[in-house]
Amino acid sequence: MKYIQEFREGDHVAGIYLCKQKNSAVTKNGKPYDNVILQDKTGSIDCKIWDVGSAGICDFDALDYVDIVGEVSSFNGALQVSIKRTRVAGEGEYDPRDYLPVSERDIDEMYKELLGYVGDISNHYLKALLDEFFVKDEAFIKRFKQASAAKSVHHCFVGGLLENTVSVANLCRYYAAKYPMLKKDLVVSAALLHDIGKVYEISSFPENDYTDEGNLLGHIVMGSNMVGKKAAKVEGFSKSDLLQLQHCILAHHGKLEFGSPKTPALVEALALSYADDTDAKMETFKEILENNSGNPGWFGFQKFLDGNVRATR
Amino acid sequence: MKYIQEFREGDHVAGIYLCKQKNSAVTKNGKPYDNVILQDKTGSIDCKIWDVGSAGICDFDALDYVDIVGEVSSFNGALQVSIKRTRVAGEGEYDPRDYLPVSERDIDEMYKELLGYVGDISNHYLKALLDEFFVKDEAFIKRFKQASAAKSVHHCFVGGLLENTVSVANLCRYYAAKYPMLKKDLVVSAALLHDIGKVYEISSFPENDYTDEGNLLGHIVMGSNMVGKKAAKVEGFSKSDLLQLQHCILAHHGKLEFGSPKTPALVEALALSYADDTDAKMETFKEILENNSGNPGWFGFQKFLDGNVRATR
Amino acid sequence: MKYIQEFREGDHVAGIYLCKQKNSAVTKNGKPYDNVILQDKTGSIDCKIWDVGSAGICDFDALDYVDIVGEVSSFNGALQVSIKRTRVAGEGEYDPRDYLPVSERDIDEMYKELLGYVGDISNHYLKALLDEFFVKDEAFIKRFKQASAAKSVHHCFVGGLLENTVSVANLCRYYAAKYPMLKKDLVVSAALLHDIGKVYEISSFPENDYTDEGNLLGHIVMGSNMVGKKAAKVEGFSKSDLLQLQHCILAHHGKLEFGSPKTPALVEALALSYADDTDAKMETFKEILENNSGNPGWFGFQKFLDGNVRATR
Amino acid sequence: MKYIQEFREGDHVAGIYLCKQKNSAVTKNGKPYDNVILQDKTGSIDCKIWDVGSAGICDFDALDYVDIVGEVSSFNGALQVSIKRTRVAGEGEYDPRDYLPVSERDIDEMYKELLGYVGDISNHYLKALLDEFFVKDEAFIKRFKQASAAKSVHHCFVGGLLENTVSVANLCRYYAAKYPMLKKDLVVSAALLHDIGKVYEISSFPENDYTDEGNLLGHIVMGSNMVGKKAAKVEGFSKSDLLQLQHCILAHHGKLEFGSPKTPALVEALALSYADDTDAKMETFKEILENNSGNPGWFGFQKFLDGNVRATR
Amino acid sequence: MKYIQEFREGDHVAGIYLCKQKNSAVTKNGKPYDNVILQDKTGSIDCKIWDVGSAGICDFDALDYVDIVGEVSSFNGALQVSIKRTRVAGEGEYDPRDYLPVSERDIDEMYKELLGYVGDISNHYLKALLDEFFVKDEAFIKRFKQASAAKSVHHCFVGGLLENTVSVANLCRYYAAKYPMLKKDLVVSAALLHDIGKVYEISSFPENDYTDEGNLLGHIVMGSNMVGKKAAKVEGFSKSDLLQLQHCILAHHGKLEFGSPKTPALVEALALSYADDTDAKMETFKEILENNSGNPGWFGFQKFLDGNVRATR
Amino acid sequence: MKYIQEFREGDHVAGIYLCKQKNSAVTKNGKPYDNVILQDKTGSIDCKIWDVGSAGICDFDALDYVDIVGEVSSFNGALQVSIKRTRVAGEGEYDPRDYLPVSERDIDEMYKELLGYVGDISNHYLKALLDEFFVKDEAFIKRFKQASAAKSVHHCFVGGLLENTVSVANLCRYYAAKYPMLKKDLVVSAALLHDIGKVYEISSFPENDYTDEGNLLGHIVMGSNMVGKKAAKVEGFSKSDLLQLQHCILAHHGKLEFGSPKTPALVEALALSYADDTDAKMETFKEILENNSGNPGWFGFQKFLDGNVRATR
């Protein structure tokens, strides 16, 4: 199978691709046709099915994996695939990881790193709480590993939430070593849990869109609630510890106008908010550099960095 | 007993007053004395105990009700009581309502009005949820009736939370009649529950200060959590209804920068946020008018109204 | 006559439509043609006149009512009418209300409601002032009934100003009943007059664009001036009452940055600003719900509500 | 008579001073006395009348000119006058200009300069309108010459409005010479009229406080209205010219948040807003320099300039 | 040679034009062609070279002056040139001023005016410093005369920097005459030097884009540095004078959020910031008026003026 | 010598203290006296010299070290020293470190850490540049070690600049290890140099106030200039490296409104701005915790953290 990135005008292509979008239209002459967007991990491409009723065209829907045959042409300067045959692929025929943007780091390796951080927690209750999520709750673990950290912006790929979580926890461990007034167990636990609400705020890949709960409550409140419920399962978990941990989660966006209902009132909450902000902005800059790799000049105004940027020479 | 408002220079006073603050000091000559602030519902006054070791002076603490004997003098243009005798009063000797700012409306009457609104809810599940709070949970009811709606600003008196809640619910009932796209049961239920988190965000009178939970989580998140827990007791309460109700509570400040972690996404949430904002500002203006009653001119710049105001002629 | 909403590809259509826009163009081959937009109360449609010099094509201008014959085709996925014959229609041949977006409520019925509110005013002078506008000034009354409340945004239809005025006055009557410190006659009179400047700020339908005076002075200052001039006709109208009424009009946008040259300094001005804001936002949400009727999911980011919204379930 | 600035501890003083404030108080021993603030153009001083009932003490009120005899002492590091005798002075006994802060420039000379600018206007109608104010309306002229441009901040002295008006008009004349797209008659007329609303927004010296009309409507709307009324007296004054002139007045604060209900839509309105802003800030800096004359270092943070400043060396 | 503004469909055109952009593309049929944008001082136009390999087509690059032969056609309502022959023109064959937007005022005449302002400086050291730039540094002078004052927005043409500099200096001379607390030599020198950093912040026409140094340091810091280096060449130039002059340059944007690292701390810095802001806004309005010349109505919302504007009547 | 913190009412004290302020006054009876503030590293205290002309009183000025004899009394609840004898102390008689707030970390040890970071720089030119400052320039090194990082706010003590610099560099080294797209030598060099302008922006302890240059240019521009001058001494230091390094310094406040004339355009500049912001806020919180040590509750609203905070339990 050829990756979409490698498609060239005139190619005959055949293989399984993920259908990202599909909708029907009518030509000027009144003939129906389908607009389709196919995707793999290297990119996506516009496609047309001009003979929607032909024998070789089996019906399929958005988010199906579809085995297609087609021809690549150029229209208005962009490539386009004219699809001649389609067939919905069976589950064993493809590896979903070939079709989704995915973390550069190995997911299992990152998860191992995360479990190492959990293992370093000395406080019995906090460790037990983390185990409830990261060791015992298999449904949670499966979704957590797959989740992206965002619908758009940064860390927007399979494993993005895990990658961001490990990175923020790593920063907080460093802060705890550097600034002795920080309680290490609290700030690292808060870092590991700060975005768990995203597991249910954004639906799984390939859909990756806000859920109803996500839109109505948001991952900040959802994460705080999830911690509250698991803590109730840990015998002896004190109300005071729970409030402090929930506060760190609620305050981790740092300011009210960024969606935190409370500003940091504990030094660990302040540290976590800086770790999260730093990691998000560094990842954003990294992705901009990658998207412009090979460009020796200025990339133009970047909305999320509020200015024009370039690669360092 | 004479109300503090009526104290005059030269008076000999005797009676039970609430001790709002107490701390020890030393004169220039090294003699210890106590600074005390006494309060009743008409005001508060600075007092001194010069003979802290004398026989007639029994020990007491802030927030005790104290039976005192003293003399009123004038110092630097303000009245001051020199306390000669003190005794901590027993529980039956005084009526707490004489010592606290209190709603002008009768608390039981307002509560009856609130129960009437609950009774008008048609939706079985929402009504059952409201009953869990306002009919079945006696500890909650007791605190709810006594709570103020704020530590400072507006509705800052015993019964203030109840008065504000009934008023906001009344506005929402009117909106529901006026704007047919509103689901009346949802918007009125949300109105009745929107500030219940304040019951535990601010401690009871006479202390009336933010609790640890209040400072760390805030009444918006606390109220949403309280609703979540009670809804679990109502069999058949749908997740969808719960999310919508919690959203209304979370979004009732209208904007992120006012501490809501979500902006209104449902028309009922929007209506509730307007009802709450309107009632708060009207009450603020009302209290300013009352504090300046008799002033025929301009009152000067009012921070919460962002301008200079006067009474209408 | 067929409504534009019902046009289908291949239809032969004939009837009178309002010409919203018209301009001339030239084909690649140098042949002149006309771009025309026709409108009725159900929508608008792009049209072309390819044979601009043909016998059946009579000249007409934007804002004329034109009797046309044409054929509906599809171009780039949108419908388009190729116009074969045109004739400017005479005044009695059509009912303008069929060509303009119009309030769902009956205009005369709303006006009757408004007059009822005027009739309820006890203050002799305020009532006389309202009569000057709403009973005696026929030119004003005619324009007031037809005016929209805005060029875009909300209440943007024939009768929109009247509908918004009645709704805001209704809210103010309710406030006056609920908050006794409000002077009812003043706040209701101010509500009825708050947007009268719009009658001359925006030109009549179908043009519905800002006038020169509207752009240079704005409806807030224009309304205040109009009140000043009519008050001079009411014998005995006190300067103090006039200032208070004009202040309510000047301050009804609530904040300087929203175009009010004064913030509310009287409690009636504050109440009016809340009534106006509440009604505008509720109507905005209502129109969004209507535009998305049938959409069971999230509608996407809404600029005027600053967030993503959906219908309540 | 000795100026207040020259009072020294131990002085016996006698002369006529303006009473700025007066109120009654009671000593610790229950004896009534009066607190008085006396003022002349060099400053103000706290005074006490300890023997309020004595024969030499005649009654007087705030804003009276009072002939006093007293002794200067020092209390808490500040000078204080103990007043022994008082008598209300008659109108011919004093020159009010000795008692008020006053423009450094001669008022009549500035007015002559203003009339010169009026004389240079070529447009017959604009000149006639200016004459209505500055030549024919004697009551207006008298107040205009005496008015301050502000209650506090800058140009806060007798003649301040005149000084600011002449200065802004001078800037606009220069702009008109420099930027040919400006219509000179319009921008200079607008400059001369831009703040005339202040004549009735702030009451006369020595009171110099916002009037009821000033608080409710503001000088921007008041000035626009005044121009509208006078224009009606000038036969043939076109509506178009009036709207443009009123727009310049309404927009002269440049932005909505500074209280203009419209942003500048004409280049003359833009020029006027820059002239007014430039002159206000230059005068503010000038007054800061004068208040710190002799200070060779940094003056500290200046609120109206948003920073720390010093004199240029 | 015909100016681009005068091209009409069907014209055969031949002449030298500046190539603003050039890039290669491929037709649907796989045939390569070139997209070219040609420019002269009257405008720019899209062109195609369909026969890229033909004998008459000589290679050229963006920013070359190219002698072309072609035909004007109309595509999608816009004109387009099909280029048949090309040849890179030699340096003497064209006058660059015919290809670039250029100041309406004569550059040498403006420079003479600037030198006159330099000549009026009394302070020996400031004059010597100005001479270092404007008299002795020929490389600087050449670039300064050609530079635009901006990449977009206002004064965006050859000579724009010079025009803006002379205009701002003229305003400052007027301020110095009007406000005696200004030190004339300092404020005029600062005006002449305030934007010299732009000489190296933006590359020369026709490229006219931000340089690497411009993007990394900005013209404000660059200008301050340039002054520092030249001042070192003027014997006896005091550190105090240098700091004051550099401060004026650093603070000339008036506020931190506009890119000045310091707010004006000297009255000359304040005056300069007003002169610069006034001239920029007046020029912006002037250019809007010119771009809409002949439009008798409203021009629509103008981003840089934050409102809708029109020409004065 | 007794530390000021240990002074008690009635103490006779004798020893050398730093005179922070001194000014003359006159009693009500016309007798001159001196107000003096003495300071050591534990605090400061108000003092009076009542017999300014007496034999034992030798003249001294602010910032002198003065050997005094006096008595401690209590006035208005605060301690006060009545000074009987004074003598200016000679340089060897005291250790300045006893009189100034000083870093808790050893200055020489921190400097050694800094030199270790310099030693780790691989890039020859950057290392040579750092050596110019931190190894070769002894006057700079002496001031750098003594400087505070701020006049108020955080790190406001002797060694504060060094402590902050080492801490920020440490963060940047960690970032460089964590985020591989960072050029370690550049980001660490920028960290070491980012605040060197403060060495001359704020005068030395004990004065510790903004210098004229500091107020006019600010440490951001000063630091960039200092780097430019030293780089000129390093043969072969490329212009490109210099611009990148200066950009990091100019952009290290992250946003224009915080005084950076450029937003971060390089990823190292972004990283540095986060390191600086994180360290400043963590130190601020640390100092708040130290100032409230022993307080088990909430500390109240903290301006620099924009909220109420408490110690973690």
- Do the Cβ atoms of B246 and A220 come within 8 Å? no
For residues F68 and F63, give the distance between their C-alpha atoms in angstroms, rounded to a whole number.
14
Q: Is the pLDDT of residue D22 over 90?
A: no
> Residue A215: its chain C contacts at CB < 8 A?
298, 308, 310
Residue D121 CA, distance from chain mean position = 27
Burial class (CB in 10 A: 0-12, 13-18, 19+), C263: buried
- Do the Cβ atoms of E298 and C215 come within 8 Å? yes
For residues B195 and B151, give the distance between their C-alpha atoms in angstroms, rounded to a whole number.
14
For residues E307 and C52, give the distance between their C-alpha atoms in angstroms, rounded to a whole number.
38
List, in sequence order, every beta strand (DSSP E) within chain A.
12-26, 32-40, 43-49, 65-75, 78-88, 298-302, 307-310
Q: In this complex, which of B10, B77, B308 lies closest to D215 when CB atoms are compared?
A: B308
Which residue out of C27, C28, C151 would a mutagenesis test of the E interface target, given it has the greatest number of E Cβ atoms within 10 Å? C28
Q: Is the pLDDT of residue B124 over 90?
A: yes
Residue C224 CA, distance from chain mean position = 20
pLDDT of residue A29: 67
Stretch D105-121: mean pLDDT? 96
- Do the Cβ atoms of F309 and A266 come within 8 Å? yes
What value, to the nearest 5°, has the Cα angle with vertex B157 and ends B156 and B158? 140
What residue spans of F97-148 are helical by DSSP H? 107-119, 124-131, 138-146
Q: How far is E288 from chain C (nearest CA, A)?
A: 18
Kindly identify which residue of chain F lies nearest to residue A299, measuring between CA atoms: F265
Kindly identify which residue of chain E lies nearest to residue C213, measuring between CA atoms: E298
> Residue E77: its chain C contacts at CB < 8 A?
25
Q: In this complex, which of A217, A243, A246 lies closest to B246 when CB atoms are compared?
A: A217
Kindly identify which residue of chain D lies nearest to residue C264, measuring between CA atoms: D216
Which residue out of C285, C298, C302, C306 would a mutagenesis test of the B interface target, given it has the greatest number of B Cβ atoms within 10 Å? C285
Half-sphere exposure of D64 (CA within 13 A, CB side): 15
> Residue B308: its chain C contacts at CB < 8 A?
265
Which residue out of C298, C301, C305 would a mutagenesis test of the A interface target, given it has the greatest number of A Cβ atoms within 10 Å? C298
Q: How confident is the model at residue E252 (pLDDT cuts 50, 70, 90)?
A: very high
> Residue B174: its chain C contacts at CB < 8 A?
174
- Do the Cβ atoms of D210 and B298 come within 8 Å? yes
User: Across the A/C interface, how many CB contacts are shorter than 8 Å?
Assistant: 17
pLDDT of residue D25: 75
Q: How far is A149 from chain F (nearest CA, A)?
A: 18
The F-side interface with D (CB below 8 A) comprises 25-26, 28, 30, 210, 212, 215
**Predicted-complex ipTM score:** 0.82
> Residue B179: its chain C contacts at CB < 8 A?
282, 286
- For residue A148, CA distances in Å to A101, A135, A286, F227 come to 10, 20, 17, 43
Element (DSSP H or E) covering residue B144: helix B138-146
- What subunits make at least 3 CB pairs under 8 angstroms with F? A, B, D, E
> Residue A210: its chain C contacts at CB < 8 A?
298, 308
- Do the Cβ atoms of E310 and C215 come within 8 Å? yes
The 10 Å Cβ neighbour count of residue E208 is 20
Please name which of E17, A113, C144 lies closest in space to residue F178, comparing C-alpha atoms. A113
pLDDT of residue D161: 94
Residues in chain A where the model's pLDDT stays below 70: 28-30, 76-77, 152-153
- Do the Cβ atoms of B261 and A218 come within 8 Å? yes
| pLDDT tens by residue, chain C, 313 residues | 788 988 988 889 999 999 888 887 777 666 788 889 898 888 788 999 988 888 888 889 888 899 999 999 887 667 899 999 999 998 889 987 788 777 888 999 999 999 999 999 999 999 999 999 999 999 999 999 989 887 766 787 888 999 999 999 999 999 999 999 999 999 999 999 999 999 999 887 777 788 999 999 999 999 999 999 999 999 999 999 999 999 999 999 999 999 999 999 999 999 999 999 999 999 999 988 987 877 888 988 888 888 899 999 9
The F-side interface with B (CB below 8 A) comprises 9-10, 73-75, 77, 298, 308, 310
The 10 Å Cβ neighbour count of residue F195 is 25
pLDDT of residue D28: 61
Q: How far is E28 from chain A (nearest CA, A)?
A: 5
- For residue E282, CA distances in Å to A161, A301, D194, D260, D272 come to 51, 27, 19, 19, 11
Q: How far is F217 from chain E (nearest CA, A)?
A: 6
- What subunits make at least 3 CB pairs under 8 angstroms with B? A, C, D, F
Of residues E177 and A204, the one with the higher pLDDT is E177
pLDDT of residue C77: 67
Q: How confident is the model at residue F28 (pLDDT cuts 50, 70, 90)?
A: low
Q: Which two tokens stand for residue B270?
A: 């929007």
Q: Which two tokens stand for residue F309?
A: 């905070």
Q: What is the pTM of this model?
A: 0.85
> Residue B9: its chain D contacts at CB < 8 A?
30
Kindly identify which residue of chain D lies nearest to residue C217, measuring between CA atoms: D247
> Residue B285: its chain C contacts at CB < 8 A?
181, 267, 270
b/e burial code for range E233-258 (CB count within 10 A of at least 16 → b):
ebeebeeebbbbbbbbbbbbbbbbee
> Residue B30: its chain F contacts at CB < 8 A?
9-10, 74
Q: Is the peptide bond before E206 cis (omega within 30 degrees of 0)?
A: yes
Please name which of E199, E194, E224 lies closest in space to residue E211, comparing C-alpha atoms. E199
The B-side interface with F (CB below 8 A) comprises 25-26, 28, 30, 210, 212, 215
> Residue B245: its chain A contacts at CB < 8 A?
none
- pLDDT tens per residue across span B125-164: 999 999 999 999 999 999 999 898 877 667 778 889 999 9
For residues F103 and F90, give the distance between their C-alpha atoms in angstroms, rounded to a whole number.
25
Kindly identify which residue of chain C lies nearest to residue E78, measuring between CA atoms: C28
> Residue B264: its chain C contacts at CB < 8 A?
305, 307, 309
Strand-pair partners of F86: F57, F68
- pLDDT tens per residue across span D74-100: 876 678 999 999 999 988 899 877 887
Q: In this complex, which of F181, F277, F310 lies closest to A289 when CB atoms are compared?
A: F181
Q: Assess whether chains E and B touch, using the rule of 3 or more C-beta pairs within 8 angstroms.
A: no
User: Across the A/B interface, how many CB contacts are shorter than 8 Å?
Assistant: 74
Q: Is the pLDDT of residue F100 over 70?
A: yes
Of residues D58 and A215, the one with the higher pLDDT is A215
